[in-house]
């Protein structure tokens, strides 16, 4: 789908505020509701907008332990790769799974209630997945950047705009005094 600046502004707004009504979205991108709604439906129909969901705090729902898990397979043939990928997709505690070039073969982000539950997950689920040769776990101490919106060309998030003062220059208030 070919997108223009209005489509990108709509997407930027929705990434930051996914529960906007069509009327609110139209106002923010300076359209009337009908053309905004048509554009929104087209972005959904073509798969540019893949879905809508609530973003949960893992700790608030009892899944505050996170680990990054590097997985190396014993073979790289198509059958082993397909079997591993199908099986890892069934492990509900795996939040992200990415196939990598080089070593390791995969990087997983997994959640668990605590270290003991993670140890059981590692030993009884992850280590028994098809083709696994080696697993290395790294415990996440703190998430610094999480669920950041995509940096769409031609748009800047509200967070970015307020943080881009010219280096070495002080901003002035509306009354002309230095802030």
Query: What's the domain range around 25?
Result: 5-53
CA distance linking residue 13 with residue 140, whole number of Å: 30
Question: What is the domain count for the chain?
Answer: 2
Strands (DSSP E) contained in the chain are 65-73, 94-99, 106-112, 132-139
Query: Is 25 within the bounds of a domain?
Result: yes
CA distance linking residue 134 with residue 116, whole number of Å: 20
- Are residues 125 and 81 part of one domain? yes
Question: Under a CB-based contact definition with an 8 Å cutoff, are residues 39 and 32 in contact?
Answer: no
- Are residues 129 and 74 part of one domain? yes
Q: How many residues does the chain have?
A: 179
The CATH number of the domain where 110 resides is what?
3.30.70.920
The CATH number of the domain where 19 resides is what?
1.10.10.10
- Are residues 102 and 132 part of one domain? yes
Q: Each residue's pLDDT tens digit in the chain (179 positions)? A: 899 999 999 999 999 999 999 999 999 999 999 999 999 999 999 999 999 998 899 999 999 999 999 999 999 999 999 999 999 999 999 999 999 999 999 999 999 999 999 999 999 999 999 999 999 999 999 999 988 899 998 887 555 444 444 444 444 444 444 44
- Are residues 63 and 49 part of one domain? no
Phi, psi of 80 (to 5 degrees): -65, -45
Of residues 129, 113, 110, 112, the one with CA closest to residue 69: 110
The secondary structure of residue 102, as a DSSP letter, is S
- Are residues 31 and 69 part of one domain? no
The secondary structure of residue 174, as a DSSP letter, is T
Query: Is 43 within the bounds of a domain?
Result: yes
């Amino acid at each position: 789908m070919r997108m223009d600046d209005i489509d990108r502004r709509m997407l930027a707004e929705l990434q930051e505020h996914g529960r906007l009504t069509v009327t609110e979205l139209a106002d923010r991108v300076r359209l009337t509701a009908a053309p905004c709604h048509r554009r929104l439906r087209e972005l959904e129909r073509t798969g540019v907008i893949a879905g809508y969901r609530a973003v949960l705090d893992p700790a608030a729902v009892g899944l505050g332990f996170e680990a990054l898990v590097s997985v190396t397979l014993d073979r790289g043939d198509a059958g082993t790769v397909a079997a591993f990928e199908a099986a890892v997709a069934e492990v509900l505690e795996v939040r992200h799974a990415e196939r990598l070039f080089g070593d390791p073969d995969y990087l997983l982000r997994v959640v668990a209630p605590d270290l003991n539950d993670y140890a059981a997950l590692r030993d009884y689920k992850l280590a028994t997945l098809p083709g696994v040769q080696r697993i290395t776990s790294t415990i996440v101490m703190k998430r610094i950047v999480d669920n950041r919106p995509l940096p769409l060309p031609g748009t800047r998030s509200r967070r970015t705009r307020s943080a881009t003062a010219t280096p070495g220059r002080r901003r002035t208030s509306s009354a002309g005094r230095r802030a």
